[in-house]
């Protein structure tokens, strides 16, 4: 094979996980101000499955083949002209951005603002479980909700990517953490630091009392969850109900003028500052990667299938050998 091509995960039509395949595409070259990264791993995110199934087709269009993958870990392979402060061989983690997905490939070309250095001692493959979800959780709890020690925090979808990071951070920030997840995952979230664990299928929200902060990584039934806020409580949503996305976003927008407690919503788009801050959180022992299973590149479709089946504990990661 030509050394000017590389393996990448592609799809030629929208559909289920089986539309994914490993093909060859031109290998990128770092342009001025860019860095070429040899990708060692990427994780599977909910937005990947939505892009693949056609949920964002108004944005992604009908030009194929298309690619998947938002985040990555790897080593710096080459530098474009004008790049300083980065050395070939450094281990890095980063985010391509939601408009330029394609980290499911052997190489990516990125600007320095799109990645940071992986902390020493962190496994390069497992580390990819953190860049997107953990920066989202930090922003949600520390910056959007201003979580304070001693406050009651409810995390919905606590076993998933953002959820598991939020449980760890809530505990590190001194909150009283209640984690809501499937019954089979309650031991997992308890081990992450949750003081209280709730089976979301059997316990009614009204039974839980009121909370100072709610982080919602589930996206469903937001009006009911919002009523669980104390006066002055803060709710941050990092997911929408994909069965009713327009209605879900409409409710979030309306919450700023109706009822108790505005629902803050954002979609993480981390940059260099967030990655450097994440490295500090890891070094200080506030966060660790939670990897459910590692798949080889050729089984990316299986990783998508597993995520859509539900029940993930942390993240599904794909390794590129």
Place of tokens 């989202």: 136
Token reading at 34: 């860019």
- What is the model's pTM? 0.89
**CA separation for the pair 48, 98 (Å, rounded):** 9
Determine the pLDDT at residue 12: 96
The three-state (H, E, C) secondary structure of 188-253, written as one string: HHHHCCCCEEEECCCCCHHHHCCEEEEEECCCCCHHHHHCCEEEEEEEEECCCCCCCHHHHHHHHH
**3-class SS of residue 119:** coil
Q: Give CA–CA dist 300/295, Å, rounded.
A: 7
Segments making up each domain of the chain, as ranges: 5-129+289-319, 132-265
Domains 5-129+289-319 and 132-265 share a fold: no
**Measured CA distances, 28 to 25, 109, 110, 235, 239 (Å):** 9, 6, 10, 41, 32
- What kind of architecture, by CATH, is found in domain 5-129+289-319? Alpha-Beta Complex (3.90)
* N-term to C-term CA, the chain: 17
CA dist 217 and 51 (Å) reads: 19
Residues 248-276: pLDDT tens digits? 444 444 445 444 555 565 566 788 999 99
The model's pLDDT over 160-204, given as tens digits with 9 standing for 90+, comes to 999 999 999 999 999 999 999 999 999 999 999 999 999 978 877
Name the class of domain 132-265: alpha beta
Here the tokens at position 230 are 């104390």
């Amino acid at each position: 094979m030509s050394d000017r091509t590389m393996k990448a995960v592609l799809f030629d039509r929208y559909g289920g996980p089986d539309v994914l395949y490993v093909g060859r595409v031109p290998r990128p070259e770092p342009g001025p101000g860019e860095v070429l990264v040899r990708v060692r791993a990427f994780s599977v995110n909910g937005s990947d499955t939505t892009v693949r199934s056609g949920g964002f087709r108004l944005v992604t269009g009908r030009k194929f083949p298309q690619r998947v993958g938002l985040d990555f870990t790897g080593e710096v392979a080459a530098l474009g002209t004008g790049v300083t402060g980065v050395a070939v061989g450094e281990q890095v983690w980063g985010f391509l951005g939601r408009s330029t997905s394609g980290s499911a490939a052997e190489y990516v070309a990125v600007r320095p603002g799109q990645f940071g250095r992986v902390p020493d001692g962190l496994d390069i493959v497992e580390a990819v479980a953190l860049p997107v979800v953990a920066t989202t959780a930090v922003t949600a709890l520390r910056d959007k909700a201003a979580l304070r020690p001693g406050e009651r925090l409810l995390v919905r979808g606590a076993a998933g990517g953002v959820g598991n990071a939020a449980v760890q951070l809530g505990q590190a920030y001194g909150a009283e953490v209640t984690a809501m997840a499937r019954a089979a995952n309650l031991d997992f979230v308890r081990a992450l630091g949750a003081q209280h664990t709730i089976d979301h299928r059997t316990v009614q929200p009204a039974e839980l009392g009121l909370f100072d902060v709610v982080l919602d990584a589930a996206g469903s039934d937001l009006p009911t969850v919002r009523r669980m806020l104390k006066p002055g409580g803060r709710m941050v949503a990092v997911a929408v109900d994909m069965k009713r996305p327009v209605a879900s976003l409409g409710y979030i927008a309306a919450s700023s003028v109706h009822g108790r407690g505005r629902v803050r919503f954002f979609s993480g788009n981390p940059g260099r500052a967030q990655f450097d801050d994440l490295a500090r959180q890891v070094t200080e022992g506030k966060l660790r990667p939670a990897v459910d299973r590692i798949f080889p590149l050729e089984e990316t479709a299986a990783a998508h299938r597993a995520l859509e089946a539900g029940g993930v504990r942390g993240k599904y990661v794909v390794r590129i050998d």
